[in-house]
Amino acid sequence: MRGVADGRLRGRLDRARRRAGLTPPGPDFSGDFQLVGTEPFWGGRIQEDGLTLSRAGQPDVSAANTGVKVEGDVGVWGVGGLVFRLHPEPCTDGMSDRKYDYRAEVTINGQVLRGCASSPLGLEDQPRS
């Protein structure tokens, strides 16, 4: 539980530093993210209280969010069997007109799923289909 609390505090501090202009420019991995992928269809969420992967015909997989680790310009969440990676580059899902800010990779027990991600606020005003 301490790792989750530490991750939340770290996230809040990172957001406060960015608002105050106290961090160097770079990818913003603060806040929540929604992930989506096709072939096969899957979805995911990165939230302060946890990571969730949803796949058709399978139960959701959840893990604690212990905070983001930045590797170069890539944000990495999770350990062990469930790892989310966000690459700061434009992405499209190939099925809609939505534009995403990050290319996403989710590794679940050795299988890599590829897709896109953005903050929920970044998707609010975009078309849904």
Q: What is the pLDDT along the chain (129 residues), one digit of tens a residue?
A: 444 444 455 556 656 655 666 555 678 899 999 999 988 899 999 999 999 999 999 999 999 999 999 999 999 999 789 999 999 999 998 878 788 999 999 999 999 999 999 998 777 766 665
The pTM for the full model equals 0.77
Residue 100, pLDDT score: 93
Q: Apex CA 112: angle with CA 38 and CA 51, to 5°?
A: 85
* Block residue for tokens 């990571």: 51
- Dist CA 62 CA 73 (whole Å): 25
Phi-psi region of 81 (alpha: psi -120 to 50; beta: other; left: phi over 0): alpha
Peptide bond into 40 cis (omega under 30): yes
Mapped onto helix, strand or coil, the DSSP state of residue 11 is: helix
